[in-house]
Chains A and B, each alone.
Chain A
């Protein structure tokens, strides 16, 4: 069964600190993995996308890594800011069908305290 599991479920850090969010997946055949940020009351916004051949991708203070062999990804946030408080969702796409369907994790709820 294709699944996407994220950990931790929630995380609280102090402003200025770094943190790493984890995503494990069993989706096969794999097409790409995307991290989304969802602010409270808003829709998700894409942060990064990685295909099978890519093992790291950065977007400002966000750096995503991918290990396609172990089917794991991480999202590292550097020098956190209050505006980083949000849910971070890992989304994996397969390439086994015309639809190329998306599998969503439940997200990690990050809270940054001043």
Chain B
């Protein structure tokens, strides 16, 4: 079992609230990722980081922001939540491989299921 933790597991909150989803890993991995997953659909990469002070946007446009101040911590923030943000958010991490991300397995947290009313 990979040591990557996400909190909260479930969050139901009203429109306009500021939200921070927490993700922490204890494996010392340099690379971390945020994915968005809707029921029956594929995972979409929304943010990634190669290490401290490195953050990049992924393939799917997202109004969320991320920060990487510490290696083990990669929080995701929504400044003003809207119903369109309702989804499952998965955090993952991986070791730095010799070539690209795909050669090293990504270890996933159990996700945060977010519902915006």
- Where the two chains meet, the residues of A that have a C-beta atom closer than 8 Å to any C-beta of B are 4, 9, 31-32, 34, 41-46, 49, 89, 92-95, 97-102, 104-107, 109
Contacts and interface: CB of A to CB of B under 8 A. Distances in A.
Interface stretch (B13-21, B65-73, B75-83, B103-111): B103-111
Interface residues of B, number: 24
A36 to B, nearest CB: 8
Nearest 9 A-B pairs (CB), nearest first?
A: A100-B100, A93-B102, A43-B108, A104-B42, A100-B102, A46-B105, A100-B101, A104-B43, A31-B102
30 contacts: A31-B102, A32-B102, A34-B105, A41-B110, A41-B113, A43-B90, A43-B108, A43-B111, A44-B43, A44-B90, A44-B108, A46-B105, A46-B106, A93-B101, A93-B103, A94-B100, A95-B102, A98-B100, A99-B100, A100-B97, A100-B99, A100-B103, A101-B59, A101-B100, A101-B101, A101-B102, A102-B106, A104-B42, A107-B40, A107-B42
